[in-house]
Amino acid sequence: MPDSVPGHAPVAGTPRSGPRLRQPFPLAAFHPRLRDSLRDYDRATFAKDLAAGLTVGVVALPLAMAFAIASGLPPQAGLFTAIIAGFLIAALGGSPVQIGGPAGAFIVIVYGIVARYGVANLLIATILAGMLLFAMGLFRLGTLVRFIPVAIVIGFTNGIAVLIMVSQIGDFLGLRTGKLPGDFLSQMRVLGQALPTISWPTVALALGSLAVVAGWSRLARLADRRRHAAPAPAQPPAAPGRWSRVLSMVPGTVVALVLATAANALLELPVETIGTRFGGIPQGLPPFALPHLSWQLAQQLLAPTLTIALLGAIESLLCARVADSLIDDRHDPNQELMAQGIANIVTPFFGGLPATGTIARTVTNVRSGGRTPVAGIIHAATLLVIMLAAAPLASAIPLATLAAILLYVAWNMGEWHVFGLAHLKRFSNNYRIIMLGTFVLTVVFDLTVAVQVGLVLACLFFIYRMASLTQIEPIAPAELPPAPGGALPAGEVQAYRMTGALFFGAVNKVEALIDPRDRSQPAPAVLILEVGKLVALDTTGLDTLDALRRTLARRGGTLVVCNAAAQVFSLMRRAGFLERMGPENCCDTLAAACARAGVLLAGRAARDAAQATQAAPAAPPA
């Protein structure tokens, strides 16, 4: 058979000097989206970015402090992260509207790392994770994150939301728990033992803050609907009222923060504040500090590094995809990962947390009019100005209010409808097992175990599904084209049509054709495999075909393969299978395979006749 794939013409346009050498690992170009956005930048766009950046900066203020406190770190760590990482992700990222900073998804991860390894090792793990993120983007691995099944993403997102809620129960109720342990079961035991220390003024302030956050957000959504509602045909469009604009622009978290801080200052409530626990917030960025890094320490921090990098990549790219749907754009995932990597390398040198893209702040940026990375840069500058000017006021912020804000964020973070029977009935058992298993493992153990087990289950279910789609069906003798010598005898020629993918999970279907241990099973003289609809073949599948060929050869039969696709034929040729089978036994069409079977049967009949003649006794002399 010629050294080409049937039905596939050679690639045209090849230089006469020979094929051009390709780079084995093509690197992604470092091209921040800010460069493209500034080409046609004008005053009107800047006005929109300015308004959006100021709004997002105000929104990010309480969240940054709350995320840091919930992670077991002082509130200024969250502010430093939001300022430095927010600036770098906006200036160097691959999305025009992505807002970076500390994220709620990292709370549980960071808290566990701090409890087990300490703050210094958290900073080192974050730097190593940043290097890994940058390498992932550089080697164009940004699209691989999309291969993680949505069931795993939903499972660990809901699990993280539950863990965030549990971590805030102590501050919400004013319990005297001390520093909570890192695992879920121990946290629940400590919280249960501390229930007699509940502080009712703290509970009242926390419930009031939660009511303000939830109620203000609901009023803002109603006002936004009224602003964008289409007027009746007979009425001119009404101008939005002042209160409607205020409700839409001012976030409920800031309103709750201001009201709770004022109430605490006026009433002198016996509640814990940022000042009583942390001593306040410094006015300015911390000095650059170089953490001690050694190879032995890096080996111990391998698991936290992988966890931070994996979660950061998933969170940032999911956020960027949400932003794409809002502005009808498409982000560069590799550039986004490189920007996330740089941000996580730089931020720990100033005492910051792991950073990633944040969905809530990114959506706020888009809805506030932001369309370029300039809005993200303004958001970081806004936080810096607020910290420099109003840091002393932060000492009076009640921790119960920050706990209420985090409870609201965690509730909105989870997709709780997926646990309903009506939702679960729509999907297969595989989806339910992966999603619920990832959720339970995230809550009871940790995110790393949950994602690992979830991916293993997803792979196993995928292998099972692909194996079930692989079919080997017999071709009836009446459907076989006749050979030149006439119809093929049904007993001596068997033909099968293979569809799907012949890989390690489906080789048992080929092994079932002929059992090499069962000598009583009759073997055909010619076995034809029509593989035109076989879309993929791996080395295990090829080894199984070779075992089938050897079994047939030991019993005097021949394997004939026809209509091989490009990938199947290429692997057969490169692995030497065609030489062992005989190139003449690899045919272009089923008709050619039947003709080859006729030739093989004729040759076999001739050999049998010759052997019978030689074995016959000589005739006696007359």
* C-alpha span between 127 and 309 (Å, rounded): 10
Tens-digit pLDDT profile for residues 188-213: 999 999 999 999 999 999 999 999 98
Residue 437's pLDDT band, with cuts at 50, 70 and 90, is: very high
Residues 315 and 180 grouped into a single domain = yes
What is the domain count for the chain?
2
Residues 528 and 443 grouped into a single domain = no
Residue 502, domain CATH: 3.30.750.24
Residues 126 and 263 grouped into a single domain = yes
> Residue 6 has what pLDDT?
42
> Residue 229 has what pLDDT?
58
- Tell me whether residue 619 is in a domain: no
Residues 604 and 522 grouped into a single domain = yes
Please give the structure tokens belonging to residue 465: 């599904």
Residue 518's pLDDT band, with cuts at 50, 70 and 90, is: low
> Residue 49 has what pLDDT?
93
> Could you tell me if 107 and 66 are in contact, meaning their C-beta atoms sit under 8 angstroms apart?
no
> Could you tell me if 498 and 548 are in contact, meaning their C-beta atoms sit under 8 angstroms apart?
no
> Residue 519 has what pLDDT?
63
Tens-digit pLDDT profile for residues 220-248: 667 666 655 555 554 544 444 555 566 66
Residues 111 and 151 grouped into a single domain = yes
pTM for the structure as a whole: 0.74
Percentage of the chain beyond pLDDT 90 is 41
Whether residue 600 is predicted with pLDDT greater than 80 in this model: the reply is yes
- Tell me whether residue 7 is in a domain: no
> Residue 25 has what pLDDT?
60
> Residue 617 has what pLDDT?
63
Measure the CA angle with vertex 312, ends 165 and 349; round to 5°: 100
* C-alpha span between 25 and 22 (Å, rounded): 9
Residue 1's pLDDT band, with cuts at 50, 70 and 90, is: very low
> Could you tell me if 559 and 585 are in contact, meaning their C-beta atoms sit under 8 angstroms apart?
yes
Residues 105 and 68 grouped into a single domain = yes
Whether residue 508 is predicted with pLDDT greater than 80 in this model: the reply is yes
Residues 55 and 156 grouped into a single domain = yes
Mean pLDDT for 501-514 is 90
Residue 4's pLDDT band, with cuts at 50, 70 and 90, is: very low
Q: b/e per residue, 518-527, with b = 16+ CB within 10 A?
A: eeeeebbbbb
- Tell me whether residue 112 is in a domain: yes
> Residue 55 has what pLDDT?
84
- Tell me whether residue 233 is in a domain: no
Tens-digit pLDDT profile for residues 303-321: 889 889 988 998 898 888 8
Residues 401 and 506 grouped into a single domain = no
* C-alpha span between 491 and 15 (Å, rounded): 52
* C-alpha span between 246 and 100 (Å, rounded): 25
Residues 167 and 251 grouped into a single domain = yes
Residues 366 and 476 grouped into a single domain = no
- Tell me whether residue 617 is in a domain: no
Residue whose C-alpha is closest to residue 413's, from 354, 355, 367, 359:
359
Domain of 141 in residue numbering reads as 45-226+245-413+425-454
> Residue 3 has what pLDDT?
44
Output the average pLDDT for the chain: 84
Q: What distance lies between CA 261 and its chain's CA centroid? A: 39
Tens-digit pLDDT profile for residues 464-477: 888 898 999 999 88
Of 110-114, 332-336, 436-440, 448-452, which range is least confident?
448-452
Whether residue 82 is predicted with pLDDT greater than 80 in this model: the reply is yes
- Tell me whether residue 615 is in a domain: no
- Tell me whether residue 150 is in a domain: yes
Residues 479 and 450 grouped into a single domain = no
Mean pLDDT for 28-49 is 91
> Residue 153 has what pLDDT?
83
Tens-digit pLDDT profile for residues 386-434: 888 888 888 888 999 999 988 988 888 888 988 888 888 888 888 899 9
Percentage of the chain beyond pLDDT 70 is 87
Going from the C-alpha of 566 to that of each of 10, 19, 548, 563, the distances in angstroms are 12, 20, 22, 10
Residues 448 and 477 grouped into a single domain = no
> Residue 17 has what pLDDT?
41
Whether residue 448 is predicted with pLDDT greater than 80 in this model: the reply is no
Tens-digit pLDDT profile for residues 346-378: 999 999 999 999 888 898 888 888 999 999 999
- Tell me whether residue 16 is in a domain: no
